[in-house]
Structure formats: C-alpha cells, structure tokens
Structure 1
Amino acid sequence: MISGCILCEDLNAELTEEHIFPLNAGGGLHARILCKDCNSILGSYVDGPYLRQKHIELARMTYKIKGRARAIPQPLSGVHEVQGNRGPMRIRLNAAGKAIVVGSAPSLRPVEDGLELTVHIDATERENLPVIIRSTLERHFRSQEGLAKGWTLEQKENAIRNAIAGAEATPTETDHTPFNVRGTWSLCLKAVFTEHVKVLYEVACLEFGKAFFHSEEGKKLRTFLREQCRPDADFDLESVALELRVVPILSDEIVALLDHLTDSSRYATHLVIAVRGGLVCSMFGSGAILSLDSFALDDDDSKVYFNKVNGRCRVMPFPELIHEANSRTRECLSSELSASSQEISRR
C-alpha cells in the first residue's frame, strides 16, 4: 500500500477520492490515492481535455452520461440549415439529439383590415406564443408607424387578443423530413493518450504498490503526468509512447477479447486488466497497453477493473470475468442449438 499522494508524493497529504475513470465519462470506481490539489489539477489538465473531445461528448450523449454537473453535452451544438417539406429550416439539436426548429424574428406587415403577424417557432415552445405576440405588437404600437395609426387602447388590445387567439387556433405542423447534420471534427490523440496513461498509472499503483511507485517505470509515468499539468504542456506522442512503454492502440486480438468479456458492449464499458506482463486499458472502445515485464502477476492474482457506463462497477479476479463471459457464450450456443434442433424436428 502506498502512503500519501501518488502524484506529488506528499506522504502526509490528506487523500481524496479519485475516480479511476472520469466521473463525467460514467466512471464509478474510485480510490483514495490523490491529495485534493493533485485531484483538481489532473481533473483540469488531463480529464478535462479528454472529456472535451467530440467523440467523448458524443458517447456521453449516446449513453446519457450527466456527470458531476448533471448535464449531458451536445457535440452537435449550433444552428444547422436543413431542407424541410416547406423549404429551408434552421434547427438545433437538444441534449437528447432531437431537432428543435430555431424560431425566426416575428414579422409584421400591413394588410387591408389591419396587421398580419407571422411567427415561426418550434412546437415545444408553442406555450410562449402569447408572450411573443403581445410583446411584438406592443412594441409596434409604440413605434412611429404604430402611433400613426391613431388606434385607441381598446383597439390595440383587441388586435393583440385576436392575434393570440388566431395563433392558438392554428394547428401544429409536423415535419418528418429526414436530414443529415454534417461537420468537421478534430481529434487530439495526445489528450486521449494522456488520459489512458493516467488510468494505467493509477491502477498500476493500486495493484503493484510501493514497488511500482518507486520503480523507474512508475517515476517516468508520474513525471509525464506532472508535465501535462501545465497550460503550455506539449510532447511528441510517438517518442513519449516509446519511452513510457505505452502502446496507444489496441490490437485486433485485444479488441476481440474485450468484445467477448463485455458481451459486445466494450463501447459502454471501461476496463483495466492487470495481467502477466502489464495492463490493458479500454474506455469507450479505445485504449492503450502498458508493458511492465518486471511486475508480472501470477494468473490467479490477475485483476480487472470493470466499469459499466452509468452501471455496475467492480474490481474482480480476471479469471472470474473470463468464466462469466464463457458461460454467456455457452448459454448462447446451447440456445441456438436447441432452436435449430426444434426447427429440424418441425420439418
């Protein structure tokens, strides 16, 4: 067991709960391994840039991950121009990904018997129509053009009420036109890599304790993380990955294993597997591998940090997770064989 903070190395620091996988990424596993200052710094300079990546925001929207602020990000923010049944429309997407029509400014034009008011708003904002109509017409009646009409207060109020009644009587129109929202996103591989290094380092400290913390491997990872906690931090990804012995990509074989272990839900599962030879980290389907030849675990001591996004979290023996996955596979196979047998019997 390591005494003190695993980042600043203060042996007397009061430790706080650190989420192994970021809370705002659906992480639920935590441990008292960082002091308050280091916890905050890593949150700002490591977790923060990772969580601001568009594909992470998209994952949070997909899996409804509210995080600490209880708000789901919208990576497709902004106003989009789409072609509707009645012509071009301006829309925005809410946190659930639903299209909301962006209302245009109310327009007034004189007609033979008075004024024609046009208002375009989304159906979900229909309840705001009375306020919009009243404020628009009252502003018009105060203008030079409105004063020139010479209307009495009663005539003005009747016009406002008639406009509101007419709008409320107008049926809501629904547009089911399919559309595509296009945009260009950039991915900061360094931010993703740094987050994976943080997760790997924290789990290595928990699993291997003081021996890893004081080792050359532990010092290199710790130094790297400290260096990233600056506004002007930068590094060459290829050379740093080589120096830290961190492979910033998962092989096809590892991906196939993760799919098996998570019942094909690796994109909704965070894992760190500590086995003979090192650790494997996977978050939202991407991850990294840390090679630690001098800290080999016996097969019986291998562990897995298993974190379903917004769901079950546990630290368990790796063989136990393999057994569960194999059992699911056997049950699925038995079910398929039974169904096939029944189909053959019917024939």
Structure 2
Amino acid sequence: MSEYLSLLKYYRDPTLAKALRLRIEELAKKIQENIMIMHVCGSHEWTITHYGIRSLLPENVEVRAGPGCPVCITPATDIDDAVKLAMDGVVVTTYGDMSRARGTKMSLEEARAMGGDVRVIYGVQDAVKMARREPNKDFLFFAVGMDTTAPATAFEMMKGVPDNLSFLVSYRYTPAIQGSVMDSNVLGIDAFISAGHSVTVTGLRPYYEYFLRSKKPMVATGFEPIDVLMSIYMILKQIDEGKPKIENEYTRSVTWEGNVKAQQVMERVFDLEDGYVRGVAVFPKAGFRLKEEFSKKDARVQYGLKDRTKSKDEYVAGARCGEVVMGLIDPPECPLYGKTCKPEDPKGAPMVSQEGTCWIWATHRIVNVSPRCRR
C-alpha cells in the first residue's frame, strides 16, 4: 500500500505538472499552428476535467473527448431488445449505469418499475451465479462495454454457462473505433491519446495499420494527471520533430503485444463484425458477435431478435448526444444540457454514465464551452 501511495503522489505531483506545462508551452510556441488531440476514454475525460488540464494548455493546443464511453455508444435498439425481453419475463442482468440508459422508449430501470425483472450486477460472474441458483427462470446478460470487459464474458463461455443463461452481446472493439477516426479527416484530428486499460488488453499492435495510413501521432496513456500531461508533451514533441509514431506512456501496464491470453480467449469465443456506435456511424470490424458454436447462447438467435442499428428515435427531441460522443460539440452546446437533462434525470446516454462527457462536465458544474483552437 505504501508503494502505491508513493506512486500515486508522484503521478499527481504539482511540481512535475508545472514542469510539464512549461515544456508543453515551449513546444506549442515552436509549432505555432493549431493542434487538436482526441482521446477515446471516459476515464481520461474525467481526469482532464477533474484536474483542470484544459486550463493548463496553450491556446493552440486542444484536447477533445471522442467515442470512449461504453454506455454512450451502446445502440438504442440493443437496449430496446433487452427491455422487451425483460417485459416478456426474462431476467435481465446488466451494470448499474447501463440500466439507466434509455432506448427509443424506455430504460431497463423503467422496465423494472413496470414489473420487469431487471437486476444490477457487477460482472458476468454474478449473472452466471444467479442463473445457477434459479434454474427455473430464463436469464439474460446484457453484455455491454469494450474489449476491456469482453474477455471475462469469453472466459465464462469457455468454462461453460448454465443452460438458462443467454447473452445479448453489444461489445465494441476500441482499436477499430479509434482507427476509423484516425482514417477520417472529417474532424480534423491531429493526434490521439489511446485508452490505457483497453490497450493493456489489445496491445499497441492493432493500431499499427491505422497509423501507417494516417501517420498521426498516437500515445497510449495512463489515467493520472501526470500521465495525461506527459502524453500531450510526447505528442507535441513528435509533431515538432516531424516524426509521428506510436508511443507508450503507460509502460507500467501496456505492451506492444498486450494481454495475449485475454486476446486468445476473445478470439476463441467472438468474431468481429461491423459495429454501430450510437448516434455516430457503423464502424468496420468494431462489433463483437458470438461464434457459430456458441449460437445457442446468443439471445439474438434464441429469441429471434432482428439485427438493427440506427433508429430515428435514438434520442429525445433536441438532444445532440451523437455530436457530443463524436467530439463535434461540447456538452453545453446541447440545448438540453443542465436544463431538462441532468445527472439525476438523464435524457441522453452521455449524461447517464460516469464515463459520459455530459455527466463528467455536469458533475463538475461546467457550463461554458471549452476554448477551441479551431471550429
């Protein structure tokens, strides 16, 4: 514990933060042109907001929040399917924040209030235990999240799960999502901060093909303020030297190969297919699907659910959730933010989860648009 506290103190050291800030300012002055950096992780957004990192950056350096919140990107139609099954008598298990996200009509929490058996759990193991304890009921695990949580589900599948438990899989593959944004010039992103926990699992290798095409700097980063500041410094150094590369700031967790065992388990159970990110687009090879041999556990097969993606009723009227998720606007630019949409009464998914940009900004009482180096 003492070693952990010592490391934590280092990664939150104000003196070191000031030194990094000066280095960042020096590089920004040398570069002169505007630099837009995108991260794709709700935990990074919390660190950046909580520690006021944007206020430390030069005017020509901007950090934008991209599609990194699992709850925010889960398709409304997947939530609708989970709600339908709950109302049809299936016991639906999922995470607490996911239960509060609305589909096109209601959330799982609202379905529970109407009589559906919806249970909040901490992980897939809880769903397995519940299904074994109550063999006379049909259970569903609403499997949402990224490649960080998919290995646990894959591991349980390989061990064998109860006959009365099925899976509605809505996992997304972070490298494919970030990679698609790297390939695109729509947002004008110059560099990327990659999610440290995801890259711990996937490794840096899957990003290489996207880097070869885009030649945009990328740094895998931890979640403390010094981590984030260091990654911004590393990105600016790459740009100043004209030598873009994939770098690893989070060396205490991330490697080039990643967690090979976790990858093998995922590959044994899942195939990658095109995956829809709510309110944004379909991203190539960004979605997980159970392999054919596990199709009996696939809720879409078992209950005859249609493969659906986009819906015209994804959000309540006036909400600009998709634009927030994609980093096109800041939360205060949505007309519902802080008015009808609040953490205690969320109307859109980015206000539900603690990884959602709107929730983070609202709980930190941010009401103004952040300074931007470009529109």
Query: TM-score, structure 2 length as denominator?
Result: 0.24
Query: TM-score, structure 1 length as denominator?
Result: 0.26
Tell which has more relative contact order, 1 or 2 (C-alpha 8 A, sep 6+). Answer: 2
- Whichever structure has more strand as a proportion of its residues is 1
